[in-house]
Structure 1
Amino acid sequence: MGTAQRTAREVNENPVVQVAGRVGMVFYGILYVLLAFITAQVVLGDSGEQADQKGALGQIASTSFGPFLLWVTAIGLFAFALWQVLEAAIGYTWIGKKRKRVGKRIGAASRAITGVILGFAAIKYASGSSSGDSSEQQQELTAQVLALPAGQFLVGAVAIGVLVIAFIVIRKGVKKSFEEDLNMGELPGGTRKFVERTGRIGWIGKGLAYAIIGLLVGIAAVNADPEQSGGLDKALHTLAGEPYGVFLLAVIALGFFGFGIYCFAAARAHK
């Protein structure tokens, strides 16, 4: 093991880093619980909030202690991001297959990026400046890509990539492979069953949301229409207007809630 890897491992195993990362994962879970609440409002046709993680930050901002809570949330998310960076660098050593271990490290890297983005968004909300509408931002980006040579092909490739991620996330929930990353033996019997159920619901619900985003991006690629693209907010509101959309939204809301609860358990029992 090289000097850099040894240093990274020492930092990762530092009790302060471990506590900070696990506390950060709790905040990550809180955002998904709030997102479940916002999605439920979409089901009821009464959602003035942006239906994504930034909308969840907006919910925090609307409370009496909003700015203070947002700064605490930002610190927690940055701590979570640091933990995921270290996991991406030297984590998941308990996974025997190299390809699978690399896949999990890539997943940790993506969560680190998400944590940083949401952390900065929390700071923007705390300072009183809106971070913008995510669907509009994605539509603008899609329009820029479509304007490039082979732009439709590139957007289509992104859509396929998102759908592949959605499949992996759903599969993780169906096969309960998320349990590989937890010390399930540290949890009481009743808690283990609860974590197993909420974990399955959470990963499957999260995967369904990704799948809807992938389909919207794919439709935008086929029709060369960036307005048909969008992020999670656009995906959920589009689904609300479709046959059986309310049922699927309810499933996704339950999934987001389950994933948030899973994050709380993972904060305690993650290897």
Structure 2
Amino acid sequence: MKNVAVIGGGTMGNGIAHTFAQSGFKVQLIDISEASLERGMATISKNLDRMVAKEIITDANKQDTLKNITTHTDITTGVKSVNLVVEAATENVDLKLKIFKQLDEVCDEDTVLATNTSSISITQIAAVTSRPDKVIGMHFMNPVPIMKLVEIIRGYSTSDTITNTIMDLARKLGKIPTEVNDYPGFVANRILMPMINESIETLYNGVAGVEEIDTVMKLGMAHPMGPLQLADFIGLDVCLSILNVMHDGFKNPKYAPCPLLVNMVRAGKLGVKSGEGFYDYSESRKAEKVSSQFV
């Protein structure tokens, strides 16, 4: 497997493309929006610059990585002659099913179809294809170029051969793959999202403020980032979507999203991506922080 297509130029998609390209794979990055592709490539270039500045890679490595990526707005052209497709579109089940139906039609019959979904059933996704044995989950962690874990999720029909191939592939990317079974939320989000949701409930019930809750978890539990700040970085809309998937899948009230989370998403306060969530990421706030450094 040396030729890979990645569906989606957003945060996860461009991170996955970056990781494959830096490991020497030829990557076709696909998105319906040319603007999204341009933003994705700009992010990859900026992240590579940081690695050069820290002397993790050389400038020649950066240039080779960028040369390994080509961009496409047409999915049929983008997946031509690839060995693997990694879908990293929005965490929406209807969208993913639509994409996999199309991939099944336009990809070579031996092409492996992987999804970066963080909660949606691999078995359900595989069922809309004619190759369920070649459909698998590759759940990368954000930021992809840095985080070592990849959850490898096998659906009901995923073959042992494909599972072993993808496990080996993840190792070639410098990752540590962990095989898990296909249940809502898998392992990472089945444990993480209830913690984030309970943190939001704690805020909602007035037990403590945002910074206080995060401080307790950082200093008391040795978490590198507080759960509310982490929710902002994941995206509150993504957190809500994952909780809804688990709530629907398990029919258990403990996975029901906190009303505060629901209202914040409705109000468009999605975290870092929107400029405001539990914390303020707006340009004015950034300017205040910079100014305060010189007072």
Return the TM-score normalized by structure 2.
Answer: 0.30
Structure showing the higher strand proportion among its residues: 2
1 or 2 for the larger relative contact order (CA 8 Å, sep ≥6)? 1
Query: Larger Cα Rg: Structure 1 or Structure 2?
Result: 2
